Chains A and B, each alone.
Chain A
């Protein structure tokens, strides 16, 4: 259950179709679930009906993938209207989307494309976050994406960009620890420096997920269990951030629900372990987590 900190919302799972029946017919021990907003921004039908039933049982976080706050084209007003209608009906725990772009010039890539960390992009992203927050009437959580390239004209690091973004807009952060690890590995920066560089008090939610090794790059695939290296980084994150709502995100090769609940139990135990490993090195924490996973 959530601790006494009123800003801590506990431990949750990303809700996927494969587990609808579990969530509708059994008492799944989670503090919240997260759904992909766009899957429910429909006119009607069974998806909305299922979400209403789930909402009667659990707090629901709405996690979007198509707001495209980094688009030079502006935001899609129709999209925001539909999201607002869903927010009004579901009264979600959080509303989040990504620091990325997907739409430009009548084209929508349906992928989380990278934003160059420049002053111009910061202006664009901040303007769009403010427009979205005004339209939705609430604070937006913005997630750091995994990235596979770095722009030559970037004038700041991602964590500097994120820090200035939160300062200017009042938005909060959905920190994806796996994405930090993937991007840090791909681009050669220190993930601990990233954690130190973001405003801890603005982090409201954490994502944990799995990745795979591509040709020369790590790929954020969400189709494997959380890796030991990411658990280790998570330990550092909760040491620095304090209690933050944490969830497992799994989108491919979906296992039985119990497997995800077992992973979530590791997150719960990590919170407790983090208190005793404060000051440990990244390598030591990594070794601790390898042992923890073997035990699980």
Chain B
């Protein structure tokens, strides 16, 4: 048997629990294979427990283990780092608990917070950095730590209450969709819920970096004067929040 064949069989044992081929290549394989199987699953369950402490608290131990085992079956790890193993846990939760969108959003928040924690470093821009800018050609760079998604539930309130160990609010759908933002300033991670317009504006700026384009987009929605005014207000707000880390002028 080649090394590749053995490793394919070992993978089948770990992922699918099919040990028949492996028992033909290793003496005393029974107890030993069980050790590796246990190590594999315990490591992944432990990773999810560490990555999603608030989801675990919210679900309760039995439901969380059920979801973790389901995730291990659906998503065998592929990356060299366990940091990303929880990246699709919200998708597993959608499959296991399809009627709990607050839970899916809660899982997204927890993963985004830990993802932002080790994102690339960038210093927030100060007000001084915005002097002498040609706003017609300015490109605005947002922090590489920014993660965002659409919010449809009060997961933000639930997450905050879980972290503070306060009484949990009843789960509910929002009257209209909003945006969830997670980012890092220095070594502190920040989290904020914003309205749909600000979320869309931020996504637009993250995509093309053009302040003029942002002004035009807002002008279409709010009218010329109010659009430009809104762009200025959002820029000031993002600057204060440490979301903006650089500017440049397009040639």
Q: Are B4 and A72 in contact (CB under 8 A)?
A: yes
Within 8 A of A (CB), among B22-73: 25-29, 31-36, 39-40, 43-44, 47
For residue B43, give the distance in angstroms from its CB to the closest CB of chain A: 5
Q: List, in ascending order, chain A residues with CB within 8 A of B32's CB.
A: 147-149, 186, 217
Is B120 an interface position by the 8 A CB rule? yes
Q: Are A79 and B39 in contact (CB under 8 A)?
A: no
For residue B249, give the distance in angstroms from its CB to the closest CB of chain A: 26
For residue A35, give the distance in angstroms from its CB to the closest CB of chain B: 14
Is A76 an interface position by the 8 A CB rule? yes
Q: Are A110 and B29 in contact (CB under 8 A)?
A: no
Residue of chain B at shortest CB distance from A151: B26
Measured in the bound complex, the distance between the Cα atoms of B30 and A217 in whole Å is 11
As a 0/1 sequence over residues 43 to 70 of chain A, the CB contacts with chain B under 8 angstroms (1 = contact) are 1111111000000000000000010101
As a 0/1 sequence over residues 105 to 119 of chain B, the CB contacts with chain A under 8 angstroms (1 = contact) are 000000000000111
Q: Are A110 and B43 in contact (CB under 8 A)?
A: yes
Q: List, in ascending order, chain B residues with CB within 8 A of A78's CB.
A: 80
Partner pick for A109 among B6, B14, B83, CB 8 A cutoff: B14
Is B130 an interface position by the 8 A CB rule? no
Measured in the bound complex, the distance between the Cα atoms of B54 and A77 in whole Å is 35
Measured in the bound complex, the distance between the Cα atoms of B128 and A99 in whole Å is 54
Is A216 an interface position by the 8 A CB rule? yes
Instruction: Tally chain A residues at the interface, Cβ within 8 Å.
Output: 48
Measured in the bound complex, the distance between the Cα atoms of B119 and A178 in whole Å is 36
Partner pick for B10 among A49, A79, A113, A150, CB 8 A cutoff: A113
Partner pick for B80 among A38, A72, A153, CB 8 A cutoff: A38
For residue B188, give the distance in angstroms from its CB to the closest CB of chain A: 9
A-B pairs under 8 A by CB, number = 120
Q: List, in ascending order, chain A residues with CB within 8 A of B166's CB.
A: none
Partner pick for A76 among B34, B36, B80, CB 8 A cutoff: B80
Measured in the bound complex, the distance between the Cα atoms of B144 and A38 in whole Å is 21
Q: List, in ascending order, chain B residues with CB within 8 A of A149's CB.
A: 26-29, 32-33, 36
The secondary-structure label for the interface of chain B is helix
Q: Are A45 and B76 in contact (CB under 8 A)?
A: no
Is A155 an interface position by the 8 A CB rule? no
Is B121 an interface position by the 8 A CB rule? yes
Is B149 an interface position by the 8 A CB rule? no
Partner pick for A150 among B27, B39, B76, B82, CB 8 A cutoff: B27
Measured in the bound complex, the distance between the Cα atoms of B118 and A104 in whole Å is 27
Knowing A42-B118, A116-B3, A148-B32 are in contact, say whether A108-B25 is a contact too (CB < 8 A): no
The 9 closest A-B pairs by CB, nearest first: A149-B32, A44-B121, A148-B32, A42-B118, A72-B4, A43-B120, A104-B7, A148-B35, A46-B187
29 of the cross-chain contacts (CB-CB < 8 Å) are A43-B144, A44-B118, A44-B120, A44-B121, A45-B119, A45-B184, A45-B187, A46-B118, A48-B121, A68-B80, A79-B80, A101-B7, A104-B8, A104-B11, A106-B78, A107-B78, A110-B43, A110-B44, A116-B25, A121-B3, A124-B3, A149-B27, A150-B26, A150-B27, A152-B25, A152-B26, A153-B25, A216-B31, A217-B32
